[in-house]
Amino acid sequence: MKSVQEQVGSAVLGSSVFRKTRVNATAQGGKCGSTYVDRNLHKFLDDRFGQAFRDVPDKFKGPGSRFMTEFEKVKHSFGSVDNDSYEISPIPLGSGHDSEHFDEDEEAVILSQ
């Protein structure tokens, strides 16, 4: 049986001997994948905005929507940019929401760290 080093490949320092081996591996991420984060965003917004969020049609908040595309950008920049808050839009929640969490004019959810 080959060792892990032989399966993955090895390079001998100071030599021109390089060996490559194809490796088939399965990702083993726990509950930290992108889909998990997206689902938790939806749960968080449901908890925060209640029925107003549930009433928003999936075309505005589901996979492939502009809202989720904007959230994808936030996920990739999170922690690498010195922002205290992020606005993600558009999400038509209507009026009467706390301005700390929703910008009605921009139809933007405000997430803060």
Express as a percent the part of the chain with pLDDT over 90: 51
User: Is residue 95 included in any domain, yes or no?
Assistant: yes
The pLDDT score that the predictor gives to residue 33 is 79
User: Is residue 56 included in any domain, yes or no?
Assistant: yes
pTM here is 0.68
Give 49: exposed, middle or buried? Use CB within 10 Å, 0-12, 13-18, 19+: buried
User: Is residue 41 included in any domain, yes or no?
Assistant: yes
Q: Give the pLDDT mean for 35-57.
A: 95
- What total number of domains does the chain contain? 1
User: Is residue 94 included in any domain, yes or no?
Assistant: yes
User: Is residue 69 included in any domain, yes or no?
Assistant: yes
User: Is residue 72 included in any domain, yes or no?
Assistant: yes
Structural domain span for residue 50: 34-112
Task: Output the average pLDDT for the chain.
Answer: 78
User: Is residue 51 included in any domain, yes or no?
Assistant: yes
